[in-house]
């Protein structure tokens, strides 16, 4: 998307935000967690307010590159103070009930945190607004915004480093090999730092949730029966929200930590993994009368724990998306086959592949969604009907990629789904 700005440097700043692949996920997580309808990353100077990236579910009307008069925004004041602003409800907020900005733009809830670059200079804000009141003065929300602000700052630095490296490559063609090796080393270090950041972020986000869960359990044991029906409803919904947030953080961390390097491939009989999965789902199998039919299984060179995660996610999906009143039937087969480049150009006809097929008799899905389902946060069914984070099949896709493999999904509505996985069959020789 072309950004039309007079100042070339500001245009570069907007483009830098758009180069950060995790920004859309951050905005989506904020919307899902806070129920705010408009979330954006804005570049803010003493004279300009410019949208860099946006998720707009309330038709506020801004897109990347659009501007507001900076003096009409609260971000202008945040730039001057360097402090975040949080408003649960403008009407009852003593500091902002008469402020010109909410009246001008028609919102009641607002949260905005400053984004500082690593050199300490002010870049802009991560902000969210909604026409309805929202509960924002809570540790989960404020902690999440602070951590995401730090993460954006971290990525801005990474983008700048990459751009500087690219300029250096253009200017020093005679020494290209040496510079590329240096760049790879920097990127590897950056990845390691990002993984370390993900661990810290995960812990800091989960700690307040654990406290809420602990106190909720105390209320549940001692005072739940004394609550009114309305209070019980709110309490039950709060517990469900905490559980969803915990699951979301867990799955996001798992997704970010699935790396192809530093993983050990082992010759593994897949029946061993399937038997472990059947054991882990023993309670669900008993409650829902699940039949897991296992035919011939082969031995393949895999990362055992990741292959367990892959098959576990597929089996969990089949159990979750079963037809009401119909016991789930899941079939798992694996065999060694020659590659078929008509199916995919990733499958060489000169190589052998371990073909794993997992199918079920569940609700299925429309064939047009066969690729969309592997994207992060993609949900084909409402949360009220089927709980989940929308990350499970993204983890499956990433594990397949880590195995240099290929996966397809086929299905029909109310006739079940089928997943076909192909991974190179290259058994490792046993050490003597």
Q: Where in the chain is the domain with CATH 1.10.287?
A: 174-257
All CATH 3.30.565.10 domain ranges of the chain, comma separated, are: 266-424
What is d(CA 136, CA 116) in angstroms, rounded to the nearest whole number?
22
The answer to whether the beta carbons of residues 273 and 240 sit under 8 Å apart is no
pLDDT higher at 31 or 173: 31
pLDDT of residue 432: 40
Q: What is the pLDDT of residue 190?
A: 67
pLDDT at residue number 206:
65
pLDDT tens-place string over residues 100-112: 999 999 999 999 9
Domain at 266-424, CATH from 3.30.565.10, 3.40.50.300, 2.30.29.30, 1.10.10.410: 3.30.565.10
Q: Report yes or no: 362 and 323 within 8 Å, Cβ to Cβ.
A: yes
Report the predicted TM-score, pTM, of the whole model to 2 decimal places: 0.45
Q: Do 64 and 3 form a contact (C-beta atoms < 8 A)?
A: yes
Mean pLDDT computed over 70-89: 94
Q: Where in the chain is the domain with CATH 3.30.450.40?
A: 8-164
Q: Architecture of 8-164 per CATH? A: 2-Layer Sandwich (3.30)
Q: Which of 16-30, 47-61, 69-83, 392-406 has the lowest mean pLDDT?
A: 392-406
Helix, strand, coil share (%) of the chain residues, nearest 5: 50, 20, 35
Averaged pLDDT score across all residues of the chain? 82
Stretch 390-411: mean pLDDT: 83
Q: Of all residues in the chain, what percent carry a pLDDT higher than 90?
A: 36
CATH of domain 174-257: 1.10.287
CA distance 233 to 387: 18
- 115 SS3 class: strand
């Amino acid at each position: 998307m072309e950004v039309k700005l007079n100042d070339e440097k500001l245009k570069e700043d907007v483009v830098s935000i758009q180069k950060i692949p995790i920004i859309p996920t951050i905005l989506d997580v904020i919307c899902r967690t806070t129920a705010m309808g408009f979330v954006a990353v804005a570049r803010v100077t003493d004279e300009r307010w410019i949208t860099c990236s946006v998720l707009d579910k309330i038709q506020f009307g801004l897109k990347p590159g659009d501007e507001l008069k900076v003096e009409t925004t609260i971000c202008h004041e945040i730039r001057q103070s360097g402090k975040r602003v949080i408003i649960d409800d403008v009407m009852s907020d003593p500091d902002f009930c008469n402020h010109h900005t909410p009246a001008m733009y028609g919102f009641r809830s607002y949260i905005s945190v400053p984004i500082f670059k690593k050199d300490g200079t002010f870049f802009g804000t991560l902000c969210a607004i909604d026409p309805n009141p929202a509960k924002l003065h809570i540790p989960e929300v404020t902690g999440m915004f602070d951590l995401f602000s730090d993460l954006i700052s971290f990525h801005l630095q990474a983008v700048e480093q990459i751009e500087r490296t690219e300029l250096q490559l253009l200017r020093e063609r005679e020494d290209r090999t040496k510079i590329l090796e240096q760049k790879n080393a920097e990127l590897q270090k950056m990845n390691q730092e990002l993984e370390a950041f993900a661990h810290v972020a995960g812990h800091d986000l989960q700690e307040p949730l654990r406290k809420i869960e602990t106190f909720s359990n105390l209320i549940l044991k001692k005072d739940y029966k004394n609550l009114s029906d309305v209070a019980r409803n709110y309490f039950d919904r709060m517990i469900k929200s905490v559980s969803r947030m915990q699951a979301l953080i867990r799955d996001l961390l798992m997704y970010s930590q699935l790396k192809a390097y530093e993983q050990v491939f082992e010759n593994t009989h897949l029946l061993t993994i399937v038997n472990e999965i059947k054991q882990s789902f023993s309670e669900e199998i008993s409650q829902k009368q699940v039949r897991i039919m296992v035919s011939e299984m082969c031995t393949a060179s895999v990362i055992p724990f990741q292959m367990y995660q892959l098959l576990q996610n597929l089996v969990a999906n089949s159990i979750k998306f079963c037809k009401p009143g119909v016991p789930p039937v899941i079939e798992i087969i694996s065999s060694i086959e020659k590659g078929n480049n008509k199916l995919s150009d990733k499958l060489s006809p000169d190589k052998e592949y371990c073909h794993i097929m997992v199918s079920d008799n569940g609700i299925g899905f429309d064939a047009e969604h066969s690729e969309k389902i592997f994207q992060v946060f993609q949900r084909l069914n409402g949360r009220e009907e089927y709980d989940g984070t929308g990350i499970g099949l993204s983890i499956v896709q990433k594990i397949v990629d880590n195995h240099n493999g290929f996966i397809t999904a086929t299905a029909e509505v109310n006739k079940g789904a089928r997943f076909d996985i192909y991974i190179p069959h290259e058994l490792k020789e046993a050490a003597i």
